[in-house]
Chains A and B, each alone.
Chain A
Amino acid sequence: KYTGGGDLHLITPKMAVHAEGRSANMPVAVSLYQPATGGRKGTMVEVHPSVAGPKGIRTGDLVTIKSSVGSITAIAKVTELTRPDVLVLPFGQGHWAHGRWASRHGNGAHVDSITTQQSDRISGMANYYSGKVTIERA
């Protein structure tokens, strides 16, 4: 049922400004991606203090998020806004092509590198939130 082999659920929501994929190469849109990027050189992953504390992770630290299919690096944002067993990392970041502003240096984490491929039994659509991952300080 849960894939990825980790201990924390990874959810990959859409940010409000991310209206469609084109915005990744629009400099003004890139600067406005709140609250996870907003022009910073990287994407912020929300992690609960009860998880971050024991691992020595503070806001601003680089963290590695691993699943059975890969690992990515993101910036940690330690916040009580998320459930203790969940990591929140918006999708749509981490382009390596698509244009000069999308592929800028240090631009973010590509969540689909660690999203396992599993289809829903009934609709056949991809399951994006079924993965469980681990997080460590990079």
Chain B
Amino acid sequence: MAKWGMVINLEKCVGCQACTTACSQENTRLPGENWQDVLFYNEGKNLTWLPRPCQHCENPSCMHVCPTKATFKTEDGVVAIDWNKCIGCKYCMIACPYGVRFFSDTKALIEPDLRSVFKDETGQHNWNPPYRLPEGKEDWSHGVGVAPTGVVTKCTFCYHKISKAPKGTADLSEHDPATKEYTPACVRTCPATARYFGDLDNPNSQVSKLINDKGGVRLLDQSGNKPQVYYLTGVGGAVPSGRAKNV
């Protein structure tokens, strides 16, 4: 089975938030529920930014604290939430060192609240968006689709797309016509091609080669979570370079 991972090249990322926007549309997110988020930092004379999806850790804190085992790791390396089992205790939201989880019943960021404007009369989902994945593609057992009330949601690595990729595919890229339909929305949209997605277990995949050749680093490595999202750093990026100073 694949071990899906992502590489984000901070030397190419311009902070345009196209990835955040693409994710919000692909997964019908409410404003503020940025499964993929670009974090901005003002540090004196520097403005830096960092795209931060769920890191889909090898050793996820969220999974270890879940009382109902609603959060689990799939065979292909994706950390998913089963909305049929989630009780909305939010323990995982506290445990996650990266803050990537969102609660479906939080106070609205932008008024008027879309949940009251586009009410779901059946009560099954927390809102009824005017555009959405067809019912057949919703997958509550992996946290895909419009959430019910009272559960935790997070980035799924676009599981509804990547799970359809043929077995053994090394890379999912928007530039390869054979795989672009399976590529996660954030990767596919990036105008700078700063994001790459592929099989970390395959030493010949582009993500594996990028991590090895360019010294991909992980965020908060001291937490021991071992994220599967690697960042390529360099001069001027938000993450300090793991390589020699002059590179």
Contacts and interface: CB of A to CB of B under 8 A. Distances in A.
A63 interface: no
Contacts of A16: 14-17
A80 B34 CA distance: 28
Contacts of A30: 31, 110
Nearest to B14: A16
Q: Is the interface of A mostly helix, strand, loop or mixed?
A: loop
A35 B49 CA distance: 10
A35 B40 contact: yes
B45 interface: yes
Contacts of A101: 110-112
Nearest to A17: B17
Contacts of B34: 31-32
Interface in A70-105: 77, 79-81, 100-101, 104-105
Nearest to B25: A28
A81 B109 contact: no
Given A31-B31, A31-B32, A17 B21 contact: yes
B16 A28 contact: no
B47 interface: yes
Given A16-B17, A27-B31, A34 B40 contact: yes
Interface of B: 14-17, 20-21, 24-25, 29-32, 34, 38, 40, 42, 44-47, 109-112, 114, 117
12 contacts: A27-B114, A30-B110, A31-B32, A31-B109, A34-B15, A39-B109, A79-B42, A81-B45, A101-B111, A101-B112, A104-B111, A104-B112
